[in-house]
C-alpha cells in the first residue's frame, strides 16, 4: 500500500473517532434541549396560572377593601404591594423564557 493511501486511511480512522464523539455530543445536546424546552414550558405555564390567580385575588381584595376596617385595609394594601412585586418578578423571569413563536436561549437577552 502506498504512503499516500496509508495517510488517507489514518486520516479516515481519525475522522471516524471524531465523528463518534460528535454524535455523542449531539445526542447529549438534543437531550438537554428537550429538558430545557420542557422546563421553559413549565415555567411559562406556571407564571400564567399564577398571574391569573393573583389577578383574581387582587380583584377580590379590592372589593373587600371598600368595607374593611382600618387594620384590614392596611393588610389589603400590604398584599397589593406584594402582588405588584410578584408581577415584576414574573416580568424578570419571562425575560429568560422564549417569546411566543421564538426560541430565546437563556442569557441571550
With a cut of 70, say whether residue 6 has pLDDT above it.
Answer: yes
Average pLDDT of span 66-82: 94
Which pLDDT score, from 0 to 100, does residue 102 have? 53
Which pLDDT score, from 0 to 100, does residue 100 have? 76
DSSP codes, 36-98: HHHHHHHHHHHHHHHHHHHHHHHHHHHHHHTT--HHHHHHHHHHHHHHHHHHHHHHHHHTTSP
What's the pTM value of the predicted model, to 2 decimals?
0.73
Cβ atoms within 10 Å of 61's Cβ, excluding its own: 18
Amino acid at each position: 500500500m502506498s504512503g499516500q493511501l496509508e495517510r488517507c486511511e489514518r486520516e479516515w480512522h481519525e475522522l471516524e473517532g471524531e465523528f463518534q464523539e460528535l454524535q455523542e455530543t449531539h445526542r447529549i445536546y438534543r437531550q438537554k434541549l428537550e429538558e430545557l424546552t420542557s422546563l421553559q414550558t413549565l415555567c411559562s405555564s406556571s407564571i400564567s396560572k399564577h398571574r391569573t390567580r393573583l389577578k383574581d385575588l387582587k380583584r377580590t381584595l379590592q372589593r373587600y377593601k371598600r368595607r374593611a376596617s382600618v387594620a384590614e385595609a392596611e393588610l389589603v394594601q400590604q398584599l397589593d404591594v406584594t402582588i405588584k412585586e410578584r408581577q415584576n418578578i414574573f416580568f424578570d423571569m419571562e425575560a429568560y423564557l422564549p417569546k411566543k413563536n421564538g426560541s430565546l436561549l437563556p442569557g441571550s437577552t
